[in-house]
Amino acid sequence: MDRVLVVDDNLSIQKLLSVNLQARGYAVDVAGSGEEALRLFKEGAYDLVILDLILPGLSGIDVCALMRQLSDIPIVVLSAREDEELKVHALDTGADDYVTKPFSPKELLARVRAVMRRAKPDTATKLPEIHIKELTVDLQGRRAFVGGVDMHLTRTEFALLAELAHNQEAVLTHEALLVNIWGPEYRDSNHYLHVYLGRIRKKLGPELDSLLETVPGVGYILHSAPE
């Protein structure tokens, strides 16, 4: 049974999420503050966190950043409709997705299924490792290394890099990447690619970031060697 930590100071939202998640087979714990969330997170083994960005005390952004330092599990953040910059900041900090308040349980559960699907290992993988210059993509271990040093990718970052590595020298369109990594409901969410590929570039470092090329208006390509 997958375990979910729900972090929100609104008791109604806590109850709404808990009832709907439990009805679909998830085990749920709730926290009403960032501090309580971090305590539970460190004590328990969770498979997913649903995190409100506006919390009393420690902010949701700070909680997201601290959780991301400890684990690569999926984090879905909740944010009001007008907080667009905050949502982008959350993605930059390491969140895997966001849901805008007010939301329907159906929408939230669809996002949960999508991030959980991305987090599962690819049992059909045929190649244990892909090597491109100093970059090693370990498909079985779901880790990537530059010069032997772990890139510390989140699960979504790894899935995106692995998809590009599987298709070296091929231009993968925005839509193809979004559908293959996030799901068909994300086909128009190009901003996800901008945020995540920006993070991957930083982790590749200045010596290897030229492996990843942006094809304006089309998509991205991972080269076998820097141009």
Summarised one tens digit per residue, pLDDT across range 82-126 is 677 888 888 888 898 888 888 888 888 888 988 888 777 555 445
CATH 3.30.300.30 is right for the domain spanning 129-222? no
CA 108, chain centre distance (Å)? 15
Type of residue found at 92: D
pLDDT tens column, 23-65: 999 999 999 999 999 999 999 889 999 999 989 889 999 999 9
- What pLDDT is recorded for position 121? 59
Q: Which two tokens stand for residue 126?
A: 């045929």
pTM of the model: 0.75
Q: Given this chain, do its domains 3-119 and 129-222 carry the same CATH topology? A: no
| CATH hierarchy code of domain 3-119 | 3.40.50.2300
- What pLDDT is recorded for position 227? 46
Q: Which residues pair with residue 132 across a beta bridge?
A: 135
- What pLDDT is recorded for position 225? 66
Reply yes or no on whether the pLDDT at 157 is more than 60: yes
Q: Which residues contact 186 (CB under 8 A, 6 or more apart)?
A: 114, 178, 179, 192
- What percentage of the chain reaches a pLDDT higher than 70? 94
Domain spans in the chain, listed from the N-terminal domain onward: 3-119, 129-222
For the segment 139-145, the average pLDDT, to the nearest whole number, is: 88
Computed over every residue of the chain, the mean pLDDT equals 88
For the segment 174-196, the average pLDDT, to the nearest whole number, is: 88
Dihedral of the CA atoms 130, 136, 141, 143 (nearest 10)? -130
- What pLDDT is recorded for position 19? 94
pLDDT-wise least confident of 151-160, 168-177, 182-191: 182-191
User: Within 10 Å of residue 204's Cβ, how many Cβ atoms?
Assistant: 19
- What pLDDT is recorded for position 92? 87
Q: Which two tokens stand for residue 53?
A: 């960005």
- What pLDDT is recorded for position 185? 80
| 215 confidence band (pLDDT: 50, 70, 90) | very high
